[in-house]
Homo-oligomer: A and B are copies of this chain.
């Protein structure tokens, strides 16, 4: 990973964004930063784009290969990609006519860690039968 990438991640608040959600109450700043990333993921088009980018063999995808998969305009797709990028989930590089996107797995790794239960926190076995009603 390049130094520039680390700086970009740091600037976007990745370090601060992903405390352990399940271990202690978040403060306002932590909640704001983390909510921005989850909000970026809270859209089906953006999730499809992210999954297409993340799963592509070779690690990157030309925007020209993403757009045809959707019944949406190029500017709309670009807007969704911009939101994913602002959230620190993907990076991009222009080469010639096209922009190429790739996953920034540091962010998804951090989100996964954020959602992981603290060690030693089992499923409650004392759940009342009607508790989920």
CB contact list, A114-132 vs B, under 8 A: 115-117, 121, 123-124, 126-132
Is the CB of A64 closer than 8 A to any CB of chain B? Answer: no
Interface size on A, residues (CB 8 A): 63
Is the CB of A68 closer than 8 A to any CB of chain B? Answer: no
The oligomer's copy count stands at: 2
Is the CB of A54 closer than 8 A to any CB of chain B? Answer: yes
Q: Chain B contacts of A47 at CB under 8 A? A: 21, 26, 31, 34-35, 38
Could you list some 13 contacts between A and B, CB below 8 A? A1-B123, A5-B132, A8-B132, A22-B105, A23-B55, A31-B44, A31-B47, A31-B48, A35-B44, A92-B132, A102-B124, A102-B127, A108-B115
Seen from chain A, the residues whose Cβ lies within 8 Å of a Cβ on chain B are 1-2, 4-5, 8-9, 21-26, 28, 31-32, 34-36, 38-48, 50-52, 54-55, 59, 69, 91-93, 102-106, 108-109, 111-113, 115-117, 121, 123-124, 126-133
